[in-house]
Amino acid sequence: MESYPFKSIELKWRQRWEDEKTYRTDLNDVERKLYVLVMYSYPSEKKLHIGHWWNYGPTDTFARFRRMQGYNVFEPMGFDAFGLPAENYAIKHGVHPAVTTRESVGYIREQLKQIGAMYDWSKEIDTSRPEYYRWTQWLFLQLFHNGAAYRKRAPVNWCPKCATVLANEQVTAGGTCERCDTKVTTRDLEQWFFRITDFADQLLEGLERIDWPEATKAVQRHWIGRSEGTEIIFKVDGHREEIRTFTTRPDTLFGVTYIVLAPENELVERITTPQCREEVERYVSSTREKSEIERITLDKAKEGVFTGAYALNPANGDRVPIWIADYVLETYGTGAVMAVPAHDQRDFDFAARYGLDVKWVIRPKNPHDKPFVDRAFEEYGVMHDSGPFDGLTSEQGITAVTRWLEERGSGGAAVSYRLRDWLVSRQRYWGAPIPIIYCPACGLVPVPEDQLPVMLPEEIENFTPMGTSPLGACEEFIKTTCPQCGIPARRDPDTMDTFVDSSWYFLRYPSADIHDKPWDEDLTRKWLPVDVYVGGPEHSSGHLIYARYITKFLNSIGRIDFDEPCIRLVHQGIITYRGQRMSKSKGNVVNPDKLIDQYGADCFRLYLMFMGDYVVGGDWTDEGIIGIRRFQNRIWRLINTWAAKMRSVAVGQPETVDRKVERTLNSTIKAVTFDLERFQFNTAISRLMELVNRLYLYTNRSEEVNLPFLKRVIETMTLLLGPFAPHMGEEMWEMLGHEGSLFDQPWPKWDEQVLKEEQVTIVVQVNGKLSGRIEAPQGIDEQSAVVRAMAIAKVKRCISGKKVKRVVFIQDKVVNIVI
């Protein structure tokens, strides 16, 4: 028997789907709408790799399953075509990014079609096209007009290799650039920011309402980093200046022995004494070399310098020295810390290094615990040497001290967030231009909406990053006139972070072919938020926070009526190769093309889904794919042997049911349905394999095969297989004599009754001696079991004429009749 001829079959069905527009979603039919979205890809190279297939194939299987369950599924696809990956690829090959990007998108689109997914290509988006970035610029203007986009000179992360600034989200935990691994430094630059911090509390609160993986919510909570504490004001001795510090431990206020300012704190210049100036300035400039992440790394030695000035403790009037140190960040809290070496290990190390005082003011709650002397006691305890607060616990003290400070105008409750405003300008060419004009007379002027898009000039010669944006050197682009007063003015030379493009793309899909507005309000109301979103967990603190923020922002200005972008989020696990994460930067990406050529798309999809738990991931090896090919061949042989015969079965022809096959069939339907709900593809596939095995056992006894029954079973199996192997499913459906797409068929239902009837063998005894067996449905009640037992001929003989004293019944196992 020939093996499954996947090549011609896969081509045939893809062509037919395209010709018949099988996956063109009717967006007006919203009764059971389901928006299934998978994170779009960035076309940095011409190839889809295994990671894409791993992400897209299984998601499509889920989408097809839902479609068969009666949902009107919308599954769109597009390209995150702007940005560093595409640009770096272009630079490396000395070709214009527009050329390489268009080429890559063309290739990748064809490869995506190979997957055989239900993408509605009539709604494709490409973020590097003016039809799209026009609306990204429009979004920028909405933020600008609502005070949510602003310019600020600030110390920012700078990658010397990529020659651009980076958002905090793009710096790794090790302080290096996410893209190129170069050590990130700091630069003072005037940049555009989005006020994401305005939504810090809403971003936290929303997490309670969405069905996202707990780990991802935890990452976001940590990233937002809400911290409730107290602001305490210290006067600078002999100055009119005040220092505001943020602390979570106001109960330690009497233990303050010095103050530390962030080197960038604006007070530093004003309070530093002449004797200390030189050293302070040297230290401040050395801080600039470091990124924030490097500065707060715990294990590095804490260094600092004395400013020569002193501060006064508002609680006891203590005069304490003011230092600067880079472990205090200007951008957190107030950029100033009251240092309590006795109760904060960082301060303890610092004090030890510079011979500063240590003053103990909290002792352990348990009087038998010895107080510390050689390290900080950081736990909550009982206050002492703290004036009127002596004897209070830390918990009581935190409230009491805060209230006491409030009454005296020396501080009060305060909240700090780790979250920073989103830095969105990039000194790079391949992105959406920022729609702002600088006029010598009017200042900063937004481009009027009807003049969008601000076109990215594609005929530019030099697009290599130079530290300033290459657009700045492009006179035809930069030179313009002021939209307000008409005099010569200049455009903003920077482009937007590509995370701005992807912060709203899910809003665009349903309206992708509408060109006079960013989205159609009616369609958006009907189709959003996204019902199921699938993508990698590496986006937890980047894209997934930005998308939530932009959604909340648009909701706050009344542009949309929901405030979370997606209700259910699923992360695919990570595919490793010989234990290492597969990634382009590690150079260990396996190219799937050869395997697809050899085995076909369905086989590859099935194999990936079978390889391991979807949300956990697995280690790649191509050894097992042959097993999946054999599975496909077994199905193929079955259908080839029986299809023609089954086609002759008339509708309504009575069936002779084989109980075992029937039970396997029903339990398979149930298991596959449950598994698909949960993205558990691997277990679903093994259930299908069991069903195929069972069918072989049945059809091998060919004299017993009942065609009407077999037909029903094989049809059902085909329906179950379809979402996993869509081309093969369609072909089988056709061979079974059906017209129209398999994916317009309803998903099979199982019969709970059949499953209940799982048979058990019950031993029948008379006076403890084996006298026979009965087959009975599992869970049979005692009375029915006894009736059946007494019907056995041998049992009948034994008990005839005798009196039954009692019956011992062990559920599903034994009936013992005592006479």
Binding site for ligand ANZ (CB under 6 A): 227, 229, 246-249, 252, 262, 327-329, 332-333, 335, 337-338, 340, 343-344, 416
Q: Which of 748, 763, 751 is nearest to 814 (CA)?
A: 763
Nearer to ligand ANZ, 135 or 327 (CB): 327
Minimum distance of ligand ANZ from residue 358's CB (angstroms): 12
- Residue at token pair 């005037």: 190
Nearer to Zn ion, 484 or 583 (CB): 484
Minimum distance of ligand ANZ from residue 153's CB (angstroms): 19
Per the CB < 8 A criterion, the answer to whether 493 and 469 are in contact is yes
Of 485, 514, 557, 616, the one binding Zn ion (CB under 5 A) is: 485
Per the CB < 8 A criterion, the answer to whether 264 and 186 are in contact is no
Spell out the alpha helix ranges (H) of 562-706. 593-599, 601-611, 625-647, 659-677, 681-700
Q: Which of 765, 745, 757 is nearest to 817 (CA)?
A: 765
452 vs 507: CA distance, rounded Å? 19
Binds 335: which of ligand ANZ, Zn ion, none (CB < 5-8 Å by kind)? ligand ANZ
Binds 344: which of ligand ANZ, Zn ion, none (CB < 5-8 Å by kind)? ligand ANZ
Per the CB < 8 A criterion, the answer to whether 125 and 509 are in contact is yes
Binds 791: which of Zn ion, ligand ANZ, none (CB < 5-8 Å by kind)? none
Binds 394: which of ligand ANZ, Zn ion, none (CB < 5-8 Å by kind)? none
Minimum distance of ligand ANZ from residue 475's CB (angstroms): 43
Nearer to ligand ANZ, 227 or 640 (CB): 227
- Assign 294 to helix, strand or coil: helix
The Cβ of residue 362 has, within 10 Å, a number of other Cβ atoms equal to: 28
Nearer to Zn ion, 400 or 442 (CB): 442
570 vs 615: CA distance, rounded Å? 8
688 vs 665: CA distance, rounded Å? 9
Q: Which of 709, 712, 672 is nearest to 690 (CA)?
A: 672
Nearer to ligand ANZ, 253 or 434 (CB): 253
Minimum distance of ligand ANZ from residue 327's CB (angstroms): 6
Phi-psi region at 287: left, alpha or beta (left = phi > 0; alpha = psi -120 to 50): alpha
636 vs 222: CA distance, rounded Å? 52
Minimum distance of ligand ANZ from residue 549's CB (angstroms): 21
Minimum distance of ligand ANZ from residue 245's CB (angstroms): 7
Binds 6: which of ligand ANZ, Zn ion, none (CB < 5-8 Å by kind)? none
Minimum distance of ligand ANZ from residue 200's CB (angstroms): 13
Minimum distance of ligand ANZ from residue 256's CB (angstroms): 8
Binds 337: which of ligand ANZ, Zn ion, none (CB < 5-8 Å by kind)? ligand ANZ
Minimum distance of ligand ANZ from residue 187's CB (angstroms): 20
Binds 415: which of ligand ANZ, Zn ion, none (CB < 5-8 Å by kind)? none
Nearer to ligand ANZ, 155 or 335 (CB): 335
293 vs 302: CA distance, rounded Å? 14
Binds 312: which of Zn ion, ligand ANZ, none (CB < 5-8 Å by kind)? none
Minimum distance of ligand ANZ from residue 279's CB (angstroms): 21
Which strand (E) or helix (H) includes residue 737?
none
Binds 248: which of Zn ion, ligand ANZ, none (CB < 5-8 Å by kind)? ligand ANZ
556 Cβ neighbours under 8 A, 6+ residues apart: none
Nearer to ligand ANZ, 22 or 248 (CB): 248
Per the CB < 8 A criterion, the answer to whether 413 and 232 are in contact is no
Binds 332: which of ligand ANZ, Zn ion, none (CB < 5-8 Å by kind)? ligand ANZ
49 vs 594: CA distance, rounded Å? 11
Strands (E) in 289-346, as ranges, are 304-312, 319-325, 336-339
Minimum distance of ligand ANZ from residue 262's CB (angstroms): 6
Nearer to ligand ANZ, 338 or 795 (CB): 338
Minimum distance of ligand ANZ from residue 251's CB (angstroms): 8
360 vs 163: CA distance, rounded Å? 48
**Interaction pattern, residues 440-479, with Zn ion; x per rule: CB under 5 A:** -xx-------------------------------------
Nearer to ligand ANZ, 327 or 747 (CB): 327
Cα Rg for the chain, rounded, in angstroms?
A: 35
Strands (E) in 262-406, as ranges, are 304-312, 319-325, 336-339, 362-363, 382-383
Q: Which of 27, 4, 131 is nearest to 78 (CA)?
A: 131
Binds 442: which of ligand ANZ, Zn ion, none (CB < 5-8 Å by kind)? Zn ion
Q: Which of 170, 196, 158, 148 is nearest to 418 (CA)?
A: 196
Binds 790: which of ligand ANZ, Zn ion, none (CB < 5-8 Å by kind)? none
Q: Which of 749, 750, 743 is nearest to 68 (CA)?
A: 743
Q: How far apart are the first and last CA of the chain?
A: 62
Q: Which of residues 424-443 bind Zn ion (CB under 5 A)?
A: 439, 441-442
Of 125, 232, 482, 710, the one binding Zn ion (CB under 5 A) is: 482
Name the residues that contact Zn ion, by CB under 5 A. 439, 441-442, 482, 484-485
